[in-house]
Amino acid sequence: MSEYNLILPAMGESIAEATIIRWLKEEGDTVKKEEILVEIATDKVDSEVYSPVNGILKKKLFLPNEVAKIGSSIAVLEIKNKTKIISIPTTKEKKKRFYSPLVRTIAHKEGINFYELETIKGTGINDRVTKEDILKYIRIKKNRITPTTKKIVKNYHTTNVMMHDCISSSNEEILEMDRMRKIIAEHMVKSKNIAAHVTSFVEADVTNIVKWRENIKESFQKDTGEKLTLMSVFVECVVKAIKDLPMINISVVNEGKNIVKKRNIHIGLATALPNGNLIVPVIKHADSYSLGGLVKIINDLIKRAKSNKLKPEETQGGTYTISNIGSFGNLFGTPIIHQPQVAIMAIGLIQKKLSIIETPEGDCIGIRHKIYLSHSYDHRVIDGVLGGSFAKKVALYLEKFNYYTKI
């Protein structure tokens, strides 16, 4: 018999640690290969760690709610010497990437182990991690909670108001935030402290889109098994607008000193979960999909988001976010930017309105389907001309939608 250290595997280039949520086995229990051993959570999504071996759980190295770094041992298993090990990335299973002495020195100084180092995206030859790559990674990691945010949280907890709120009475109930709500709260405060939020509002006529969907939704679902929602059209129009105005598709780095212009268009979809929390699955390379392809991937992402089955990498890398506040009956709002992006659009409720319609024969009054688009953007890098023009551009693409579009 020998011991095997169960390693917390890499889960994406921006994920450096995970919280232990629940052990499914107790010390002394038999563990089968590919059996789920422990449930974990990152700041992106919940996940599971499988056992790569047959054996016995000898010792848990982390308790529930404790945080483990990627690449660290989280448990010790007792196994037979000839047990075949599978599916967990180790230094023997994957080809080692070369790291210069300088990069290794920086990693050692910052407490970055080999497994965490392996998750850093390299920009050098053969994906080699350069000095700039590791310094950027460290800077992003340290800025997850800004000094300003820490100061606000500290002051908030020391006020008399907070002390009063924590005093329980027969008319009050003290509820502790769950893990995801704490993360969301931290990210929202961080975003407001980082970005200078401005919101522009535009009304759009979506009558053609509504009638188009009503005309084909039943046949489309019968032929494909997919429910035809309007979000696919909204995503398509946002993508077109980004191509016209690519400076919306950027991020701000280096403490506000540099702008990164994104070549890829990755659209995040803010999705409400059954428990009231929020998650943002991402459509990678959204400009590469047809309208039918968008329908399929959006339905899949939202379905798996609500059943907690997203992979960590499916919530990362977004360059622009859309929030469908109309699904809650809201007309418009002022959404908070999803960092490190610089803009977000909220889609309001579709309403029937009496509208003036311009025709070659003259103006007339008719019933039209209208929505409000709420576009929040970071005024550090996006002025009103660009932020407002982008919202109008999306509205124009929605209004130009062809009723006879085939999907």
Helices (H), 225-290: 231-244
Q: Which residues contact 361 (CB under 8 A, 6 or more apart)?
A: none
Instruction: Provide the residue ranges of all domains of the chain, joining segments of one domain with +.
Output: 2-79, 101-142, 197-399
Interval 318-328: pLDDT, tens: 999 999 999 99
Tell me the residue type at 339: Q
Buried b (16+ CB within 10 A) or exposed e, 72-95: bebbbbbbeeebeeeebbeeeeee
**Those residues with Cβ within 8 angstroms of residue 402's Cβ, 6 or more apart along the chain or in another chain:** 208
Active site residue 375: no
Terminal CA-to-CA distance of the chain, rounded, Å?
60
Q: What one-letter code names the amino acid at 283?
A: I
CATH of region 2-79: 2.40.50.100
- What is the pLDDT of the chain when averaged over all its residues? 85
398 touches 206 (CB < 8 A): yes
Q: How far apart are CA 187 and CA 318, in angstroms?
A: 15
- Spell out the long-range contacts of 132-137 with Cβ–Cβ below 8 A and sequence spacing 24 or more: 134/103, 134/106, 134/107, 135/106, 136/253
Domain 101-142 falls in which CATH fold? Dihydrolipoamide Transferase (4.10.320)
Alpha-carbon distance values, 230 to 174, 264, 298 (Å): 40, 23, 10
The pLDDT tens digits of the residues spanning 195-226 come to: 999 999 999 999 999 999 999 999 999 999 99
Judge if pTM exceeds 0.75: no
Q: Which residues contact 306 (CB under 8 A, 6 or more apart)?
A: 271, 273, 274
Q: CA 117: distance to chain centroid?
A: 22
- Catalytic site residue from 29, 127, 178, 383: 383
- Least confident range from 98-102, 134-138, 242-246, 289-293: namely 98-102
Secondary-structure class of domain 197-399 per CATH: alpha beta
Residue 361: count other Cβ atoms within 10 Å of its Cβ. 6
Q: Can 379 be counted among the known catalytic residues?
A: yes
d(CA 118, CA 96): 9
49-53, 165-169, 260-264, 350-354: lowest mean pLDDT where? 165-169
